[in-house]
Amino acid sequence: MPIVLNASILIPWVLTPLIVTTVNYLSMASGLFPTPTGVTVPWTVPLFFSGMMATNSVMGGVLQLIDFAIVGVMWYPFLKVVDKANLALTVEENKQASDRTPLQGAQSKN
């Protein structure tokens, strides 16, 4: 099911970027973490290293790791609900498939 029709996934899809952006803004505005220098870092640079390159500080990479942890903590319960629903659906489909006989619907030619 697409994200827009699945409330279990839509909620973290909308809330997570808002929370991570707020955490980043507050941590940079308070001076705990450095602000980006304006250098354009290619999107293919790995997580920790792109933060270091964007801020010229190890703390930029640390902030990215904190953001990654926040995203994981926010998404995990919602994905667990989706996984549980999919598992129940799969178990039900397998049960129905095992209840059928292999020759169901076949006609005897005797």
The per-residue pLDDT for range 75-104, each reduced to its tens digit, is: 999 999 999 999 999 999 888 888 775 655
Mean pLDDT of the chain: 90
Mean predicted confidence (pLDDT) in 23-41: 96
Bigger pLDDT: 110 or 56?
56
Report how far residue 88's alpha carbon sits from residue 44's, in angstroms, rounded to the nearest whole number: 37
Tokens of 53: 């390159």
In this prediction, residues 35-56 reach a mean pLDDT of 96
By CB neighbour count within 10 A (0-12 exposed, 13-18 middle, 19+ buried), where does 57 fall? middle
Q: How confident is the model at residue 68 (pLDDT cuts 50, 70, 90)?
A: very high
What pLDDT is recorded for position 103? 58
Neighbours of 55 (CB within 10 A): 22
105 φ/ψ sector (left φ>0, alpha ψ -120 to 50, else beta): left
Structural domain boundaries in the chain: 3-93
pLDDT at residue 61 greater than cutoff 80: yes
Q: Give the model's pLDDT for residue 5.
A: 82
**Predicted local confidence at residue 106, as pLDDT:** 57
CA 61 to chain centre: 20
Q: Is the pTM of this model over 0.85?
A: no
